[in-house]
Amino acid sequence: MSILDDIETIKTESLKEVSTVDNLESLESLRLRFLGRKDGHISKVLQLLPTLNPDEKKQVGRQANEVKRALEACIEDKKRLLEDASLNQSLSQSALDLTLPDRSAFRGKLHPVTQTMDDIVSVFSRLGFNLAEGPEVETDFNNFTALNHPPDHPARDAHDTFYVKDLRDASGAPFLLRTHTSPVQIRYMKSHQPPLYIVAPGRVFRHEAVDATHSFVFHQVEGLAVDKDISMADLKGMLGLFAQHLFGSKARIRFRPSFFPFVEPGIEVDISCTLCDQKGCRVCKQSGWIEMLGAGLVHPHVLRGVGYNPDQVSGYAFGIGVERVAMFKYGVDDMRLFYENDIRFLKQF
Ligand code: DAH
């Protein structure tokens, strides 16, 4: 076999191998095998040149260089192809896909009890009431005495009070965690003159065992209006509007006589069950009515105590249980769910 035949064989074999090689390492070792300076097949052929006669030298030299250039170009093309493929592969395997939609973070929102309290306050503020606030640690005087619970009056026992240890006011009376939002009435009346229309939302505390409808900490919205000639009719009109704003135009209210020391007469107010259209359901316990708040006309003792003249002004007051409203509104039958703060429960509101 002549050298020219060898060159031809090198050409066909090397090109065939290049076409089947499928990775960069094999391509490089192939390149070294055929084109390597010292030991490559082509170099070996060129090393023979000195032994050839001038004619053969020229022919073999030209032929070998041609194959060398063709093979180099072919390897270069293949190299680019394999590089592109490996880049595409690593891109497609990478975890970062900028075209994917984002995994939206869970956005926080207000607690259902806070939402309900805000709703109640917003209804009354649209009806012309101002916002008032008072502290959670109160004096015995504001929480009880000024609200017409005389010292040692049994009505105090109805509220299981948390007293603040070792803290007493100037008169030696203990401080306590307010058992209702009604003391805000006293604070507000002492610092303002009628006419006044306020709502006071807030947290209240009672030393009570926790069950489906009781907790040692819960929320109320207190309302107070003091003006000339305020009557039960005003209270009824206002609470009727409130019920319709919060529960829809079908909502009705009813008054039942009741007793609270700081109002006279005192009433309890029921709202018609809008969940069952008063047909009777689990939430209204088949009665068609939901007990929702206490109210009444401000007792003359209370008005006098803050320096108002009961012959010139009168007022109504009401206290709404926020958790009760929230339970009714959302059809929740166990108050404890509001305090356990299970995110699966809270996410629904
Ligand atoms: N403070 C009362 C309670 O917590 C609720 C209440 C009843 C508030 C009658 C009032 C009212 O303003 O007039 O039990």
Both 71 and 118 in one domain: the answer is no
Q: What is the pLDDT of residues 204-242, one digit of tens each?
A: 999 989 998 899 999 999 999 999 999 999 999 999 999
**331: confidence class by pLDDT, cuts 50, 70, 90:** confident
- Which pLDDT score is estimated for 223? 98
> Rounded to whole angstroms, how far apart are CA atoms 220 and 113?
10
Whether 99 is in a domain gets the answer no
Taking each continuous run of H as one helix and of E as one strand, the counts in the chain are: 12, 10
Q: What is the pLDDT of residues 6-42, one digit of tens each?
A: 888 899 999 998 999 998 999 999 999 999 888 889 8
> Rounded to whole angstroms, how far apart are CA atoms 205 and 175?
13
Most confident region among 65-69, 71-75, 87-91, 308-312 by mean pLDDT:
308-312
Strand 130-131 and strand 196-205: pairing?
parallel
45 pLDDT more than 60: yes
DSSP code for 179: S
Both 133 and 78 in one domain: the answer is no
* Residue among 188, 260, 293, 299 whose CB has most ligand 1 atoms within 8 A, to mutate: 260
**Ligand 1 pocket, residue 221 CB under 6 Å:** no
Distances (CA, A) of 316 to 39, 90, 146, 222, 269: 109, 76, 16, 11, 13
Q: For residue 112, is the peptide bond before it cis, meaning its omega torsion is within 30 degrees of 0?
A: no
Both 163 and 296 in one domain: the answer is yes
Concatenating the DSSP letter of every residue in 194-221 gives SSEEEEEEEEEE-----BTTB-SEEEEE
Distances (CA, A) of 38 to 155, 157, 334: 111, 108, 89
Q: How many Cβ atoms sit within 10 Å of the Cβ of residue 186?
A: 23
pLDDT mean over 306-315: 98
106 pLDDT more than 70: yes
Place of tokens 């970062």: 96
Percentage of residues in the chain having pLDDT higher than 90: 64
Single out the residue in 93, 128, 159 at which a domain terminates: 93
Q: What is the CATH number of the domain that holds 204?
A: 3.30.930.10
Both 167 and 79 in one domain: the answer is no
> Rounded to whole angstroms, how far apart are CA atoms 261 and 194?
22
Which residue owns the Cα nearest ligand 1 atom 12?
318
* Residue among 147, 182, 263 whose CB has most ligand 1 atoms within 8 A, to mutate: 182
Both 140 and 78 in one domain: the answer is no
Both 80 and 119 in one domain: the answer is no
Whether 79 is in a domain gets the answer yes
Atom of ligand 1 nearest to the CA of 263: 13
155 pLDDT more than 80: no
> Rounded to whole angstroms, how far apart are CA atoms 233 and 343?
44
DSSP code for 12: H
Both 136 and 245 in one domain: the answer is yes
**262: confidence class by pLDDT, cuts 50, 70, 90:** very high
State the residue range of the domain holding 251. Answer: 112-346
Both 35 and 154 in one domain: the answer is no
Single out the residue in 44, 66, 93 at which a domain terminates: 93
Both 29 and 163 in one domain: the answer is no
**Domain tally, the chain:** 2
**Ligand 1 pocket, residue 180 CB under 6 Å:** yes
Both 336 and 188 in one domain: the answer is yes
**Ligand 1 pocket, residue 263 CB under 6 Å:** yes
Residue 339 C-alpha to ligand 1 middle, in angstroms? 23
Residue 184 in tokens: 């805000």
First to last CA, the chain: 91
> Rounded to whole angstroms, how far apart are CA atoms 319 and 296?
10
Q: What is the pLDDT of residues 157-195, one digit of tens each?
A: 777 899 998 889 888 888 999 999 999 999 999 999 999
Helix (H, G, I), strand (E, B) or coil at 98: coil
Residue 33 C-alpha to ligand 1 middle, in angstroms? 99
Whether 100 is in a domain gets the answer no
249 pLDDT more than 80: yes
**Ligand 1 pocket, residue 319 CB under 6 Å:** yes
Whether 104 is in a domain gets the answer no
